[in-house]
């Protein structure tokens, strides 16, 4: 008796919920880093160490529960994700230091376009036309958000943000192709980026004790980022492509584009303008409508298709 080869409607819904929660947690990434007021390579090092410890701890306890059946590196797929994570971590931190937040979130929002292209070229997946339309609409909304600030960005920072987006899309595509559990590969990538920062660049460990925003030491903000928010987000998002197409999963990264300006406004008093609010409304509406369409389309397919047992 063979198992059902297609995910159920309930599994699809849970996958969307898990992915949405992961995307929401990622919206706290940039604000927490900015609250620390640490320098670039100190952030890379500290965030990398925290991520490595937290993700490894989850793997250790999960491995004990599963009687040792979960490897730390899931073969070639795990290695590829570790490499993209290493590069992506350093590129992302460099981007938020060397260009403004609007430029970073604008370019990171290109992830679904890149992921869709990779899925089509490398995996031969047929990307639905409405997914391309939704991506285009979301891209338009993101463009509205970033229009006022993009002209002030620096070329190197923008290039690093693009590298980060490519790395994220590559990781999604690897997971989609192999359906491997690669969350621990993100831990390896985090440790690798931390070691690179420590060995080849200047890391100010004493600066971690200095007060960041609101008089709180920098290491506290970086700990909240690397030990709590981002590990949870990455593990949730890493599960999504095992059921959902990578292009669909990566669209939830656009929540960062919408909500990050809100958190920055609440924390630093930087009021989002009317264009930001309008662009955010377009992105949120696109995500909601696209997700509803995907769920209804999948449900209809499962109901009409014969089930194999």
Model pLDDT, residue 9? 72
Residues 73-117: tens digit of each pLDDT = 777 888 898 999 999 999 999 998 888 777 788 788 777 778 877
Extract the tokens encoding 82.
């570790």
222, 46 contact by CB (below 8 A): yes
pTM score of the predicted model: 0.76
Distance CA 142, CA 24 (A): 16
Model pLDDT, residue 309? 37
Distance CA 143, CA 79 (A): 34
Distance CA 77, CA 253 (A): 22
For residues 160-179, average pLDDT: 85
CB count in 10 Å sphere of residue 151 = 8
56, 187 contact by CB (below 8 A): yes
Model pLDDT, residue 192? 94
Between 273 and 301, where is the model more confident? 273
pLDDT reading at 7 higher than 70: no
Model pLDDT, residue 21? 85
pLDDT reading at 196 higher than 90: yes
Model pLDDT, residue 180? 72
For the chain, the average pLDDT equals: 80
Report the percentage of the chain scoring pLDDT > 90: 20
Between 216 and 112, where is the model more confident? 216
307, 4 contact by CB (below 8 A): yes
Beta bridge partners of 217: 211
Residues 225-258: tens digit of each pLDDT = 988 898 788 778 767 666 776 556 666 767 787 7
Domain residue limits, the chain: 9-205+214-296
258, containing H or E segment: helix 254-268
pLDDT reading at 136 higher than 90: no
pLDDT reading at 302 higher than 60: no
pLDDT reading at 41 higher than 90: yes
Between 184 and 149, where is the model more confident? 184
Among the ranges given (173-177, 258-262, 290-294), the one the predictor scored with the smallest mean pLDDT: 290-294
298 pLDDT band (50/70/90 cuts)?
A: low
DSSP state of 212: -
């Amino acid at each position: 008796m063979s198992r059902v080869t297609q995910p159920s409607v309930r599994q699809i819904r849970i996958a969307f919920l898990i992915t949405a929660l992961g995307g929401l947690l990622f919206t706290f990434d940039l604000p927490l880093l900015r609250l620390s007021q640490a320098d670039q390579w100190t952030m890379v090092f500290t965030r990398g160490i925290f991520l490595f410890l937290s993700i490894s701890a989850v793997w250790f306890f999960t491995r004990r529960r599963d009687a040792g059946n979960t490897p730390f590196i899931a073969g070639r797929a795990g290695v590829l994700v570790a490499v993209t994570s290493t590069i992506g971590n350093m590129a992302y931190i460099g981007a938020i230091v060397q260009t403004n937040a609007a430029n970073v979130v604008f370019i990171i929002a290109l992830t679904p376009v890149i992921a869709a292209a990779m899925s089509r070229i490398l995996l031969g997946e047929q990307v639905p036309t409405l997914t391309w339309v939704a991506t285009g609409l979301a891209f338009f909304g993101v463009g509205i958000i970033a229009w006022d600030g993009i002209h002030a960005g620096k070329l190197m920072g923008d290039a690093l943000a693009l590298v980060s987006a490519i790395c994220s899309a590559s990781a999604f595509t690897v997971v989609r192709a192999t359906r491997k559990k690669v969350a621990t590969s993100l831990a390896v990538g985090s440790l690798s980026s931390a070691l690179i920062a420590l060995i080849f660049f200047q890391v100010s460990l004493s600066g971690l004790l200095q007060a960041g925003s609101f008089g709180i030491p920098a290491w506290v903000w970086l700990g909240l980022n690397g030990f709590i928010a981002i590990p949870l987000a990455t593990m949730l998002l890493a599960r999504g492509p095992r059921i959902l197409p990578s292009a669909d999963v990566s669209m939830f990264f656009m929540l960062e584009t919408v909500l990050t300006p809100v958190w920055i406004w609440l924390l630093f008093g930087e009021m989002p303008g009317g264009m930001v609010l309008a662009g955010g409304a377009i992105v949120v509406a696109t995500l909601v409508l696209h997700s509803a369409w995907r769920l209804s389309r999948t449900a209809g397919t499962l109901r009409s298709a014969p089930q194999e047992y």
